[in-house]
Amino acid sequence: MFVKQTLRGFVAASLLPSYDRARFFFFTYCCPAMTPAINAAQKAGIPYRIHEYTHDAGSPSYGEEAAHKLQIKPDRVFKTLVVEIDNQQFAAGIVPVSRQLDLKRMARALNTKKAAMATAHDAERMTGYVLGGISPLGQKKRLATIIDGSAATFATIFVSGGRRGLELELAPADLARLTGARFAAINK
């Protein structure tokens, strides 16, 4: 009997009906690992593309590494940054990897007095993702989200697919719809 270990435990592939066995092998060997972000895009039925690359643990910037390895202009690759706002509330800002998040503009876009970068621990706890793989889609807790207005100038943009070395390419309008985000100038 052939046994394949999966994230949900052991599956005895030889015990599955032939149709399910074919699906098991297809998704195990032909498709990249599904993440909550990919699942969210797939469930919503939006057009998207998956781009994978080998992550270098020594790279100083996850987003710039993605742009370089995928040979994309850094202005089209967007990072998701988690900020803390009033009363221990959190929100996400999506900005190009070539720019920085302007915390004053972010606070203004969220109609709050102040915004500060969340700690790495809080960002991971709120989203369910590790640093360098924080995706705006499929987060553990849906955060108020602001997308930098520069995203609207592109037909498609790249955001993290939920792990380091995995990017999703999708339309900015679809990203805004799935996250409930608004567009605003939040970079500097």
Q: Is 36 exposed, middle or buried (0-12, 13-18, 19+ CB in 10 A)?
A: middle
Cβ proximity of 123 and 134 under 8 Å: yes
**CATH code, domain carrying 43:** 3.90.960.10
Q: Are residues 127 and 91 part of one domain?
A: yes
Count of domains observed in the chain: 2
Whether residue 142 sits in one domain with residue 112: yes
CA 181 – CA 186 distance, rounded (Å): 13
Give the range of the structural domain holding residue 114, as residue numbers without chain letter.
36-184
Per-residue pLDDT of the chain (188 residues; tens, 9 = 90+): 233 333 333 333 444 455 444 544 454 455 555 899 999 999 999 999 999 999 888 888 888 989 899 999 999 999 999 999 987 899 999 999 999 999 999 999 999 999 999 999 999 999 999 999 999 999 999 999 999 999 999 999 999 999 999 999 999 999 999 999 999 999 99
Cα of 179 vs its chain's centroid, Å: 11
Q: pLDDT digits over 90-115, tens only? A: 999 999 999 999 999 999 999 999 99
Q: Are residues 88 and 25 in the same domain?
A: no
On whether both 47 and 64 belong to a single domain, the answer is: yes
Instruction: Tell whether 76 and 116 lie within a shared domain.
Output: yes
